[in-house]
Structure 1
Amino acid sequence: MLTSFSRWIGSRKRERALREHAIGDVLWEQTLAGLPFLDWLDAPGRARLRELSSLFLSQKQFSTAHELVLTDEICVAIAAQAALPVLNLGLEFYRGWVGVIVYPGEFVIRKTVEDEDGVVHEVVQDASGEAWEGGPVLLSWEDVKLSDGHGAYNVVIHEFAHKIDMLAGDADGRPPLIRRLHPDLSPREWEDIFDNAYDRFCRRVDGIPERRWTQFAETSLIDPYAADHPSEFFAVCSEALFVTPREFESEYPELYRLLARYYRQDPARVLATPFTPPA
């Protein structure tokens, strides 16, 4: 009886959230037009993404910095991209925090870094996005608008992939495996495929001569930054999975299949029969 009542309460909350945070038709179409990499979604997929985006808006608190005016355009564009990775996983993968802070452009972050000798340094650097464990996601609106599908870059998917990774503890490139969602994916298989792919990528990056570094960075599907840490490799590859899926599958087929199984989405397969919007 209590279970039935709890489900009823949950359903009422969901319905109220969808009403109060409904995304209008015009704004939704404008949002999709600005995110052409979403074209692989069919009509039911887009409808589910729209609903999940509304629920995301109901659960998260948006704010801005440096006098950026918060608009519905900003909120919905970020919500749609944040909802995409968890479209078949659920918003519970974003539990435990509420804040999304949007800056006009790049912002300064300060970190403490321990070097190989154990000496701790304070580092100041510019950033386009940052995900804090148990805290907010920080995003540059200028960089959010760069997610046009022409390259694998997507700061929203990147930072929210970090949030998923952090559910299992420290961000380490080993996101949580949930039995009901990933019944055929074991931690051992994840480590074997992911760790090997990461090691190969790091060796590839390390082998690039300094004179060719700029060329490699400009032409590589996976940003060389991904070699910094397994968590960055996971986040950057998550960008590629959703933004440039066919290219990612072609260049890293085994890794593509692993991430597709994890996110329970297969955008490269869907693109084999392109979605045609109704007239």
Structure 2
Amino acid sequence: MLQWIKQWRERRILRNNPIDERDWQQVLSQLPLLRGLTDSELSQLRRLAILFMHDKDFVGIQGQVLTGNMALLIALQACLPILHLGIDWYRGWSSVIVYPAAFKASRTEVDQYGIAHEVEHDLLGEAWSHGGVILAWDDTAHAGVIDGHNLVIHEFVHKLDMLNGAADGFFPLPPEISPKDWHETFSGAYQNLTDRLARGERTPIDRYAATNAAEFVAVTSEVFFELPTLLKSEYPDVFRLYVAFYRQNPEHRLT
């Protein structure tokens, strides 16, 4: 019964909130990372984007005005990781907050003497464990180019990570993925990256991935969706597990 109600609700949302074909084509042209998706996949992505934009409140901050096409640009990138997972993976929160550019956030940091300090950081994005996602529009507007960096995917992967608690690099895994395999693979890859950086080596994976396990997953997910061959070359088992988890292989369409 509940499943029927959910399906009825989704059909009603899709019917009442169509995406204008001109807007669809315009936004698609701005997102090379969607290149190679099949007609069926694009149809599914369109469906997810409509549901996403209906369920989330898009809020501009500090004078940022958001148009429908701007929301669609965000939604399409946000929904790419859940293309074969479903909209329920973004359950439990409601807001996408957009600043014009980098914004300041205060953090409490403890120094080597155990003294806490309030420190301000300039951020491009942030995902809250009990709230929404924050994005800087000037970076979001160009996130869909294929360069291995994607702010939208990065922050929304954090939201997937947070589904089973604090962001720790450990997604809620389907039965076919062994938690032991995931833990050993990602721990080993993370250690390899930090060791390489400690030796002064320049790596093709952004050094921000070495911040902690959660950032490693968010950064390497960016690479998975934009430069899959690079990730496969650097960390083939991480690539293998992403193919299994996301249920898609960008290498097949972007190479």
TM-score (norm 1): 0.87
1:255 is the counterpart of 2:247: no
2:194 to 190, 202, 211: 202
Once superposed, what is the RMSD of the aligned Cα atoms? 1.5
Give the corresponding residue for 2:141: 145
Percent identical among aligned pairs is 42
Q: CA offsets, 1:248-271, max 9 Å, x none?
A: 222222211111111111111344
1:190 to 182, 186, 189: 182
2:207 to 224, 240, 245: 224
Deviation at 1:166, TM superposition (A): 0.7
Q: CA offsets, 1:31-86, max 9 Å, x none?
A: 11101011031111111001100011111111001111110111000000000101
Q: Is the 8 A contact 2:35 2:253 kept in 1?
A: no
Q: CA offsets, 1:171-226, max 9 Å, x none?
A: 1111111xxxx2221111100101100010011111117xxxxxx3xxx4321011
Give the corresponding residue for 1:213: none
Q: Which runs of 5+ in 1 are unaligned?
A: 210-215, 273-279
Stretch deviating more after TM superposition (195-204 or 262-271): 262-271
SS at match of 2:164: coil
Q: Is the 8 A contact 1:152 1:221 kept in 2?
A: no
Q: Provide the rounded CA distance (Å) in 2 between the counterparts of 1:258 and 1:119.
A: 40
- The 1:138–1:267 alpha-carbon spacing in structure 2 relative to 1, beyond 3 Å, is same
Q: Which runs of 5+ in 2 are unaligned?
A: none
Deviation at 1:116, TM superposition (A): 4.8
2:73 to 71, 77, 94: 77
Paired residues, number: 255
Deviation at 1:247, TM superposition (A): 2.1
Q: Provide the rounded CA distance (Å) in 1 between the counterparts of 2:253 and 2:138.
A: 30
SS at match of 1:15: helix
Give the corresponding residue for 1:68: 64
Stretch deviating more after TM superposition (93-102 or 105-114): 105-114
1:127 to 123, 126, 129: 123
Aligned positions of 1:152-191 closer than 5 A:
152-177=148-173, 182-191=174-183
Stretch deviating more after TM superposition (63-72 or 13-22): 13-22
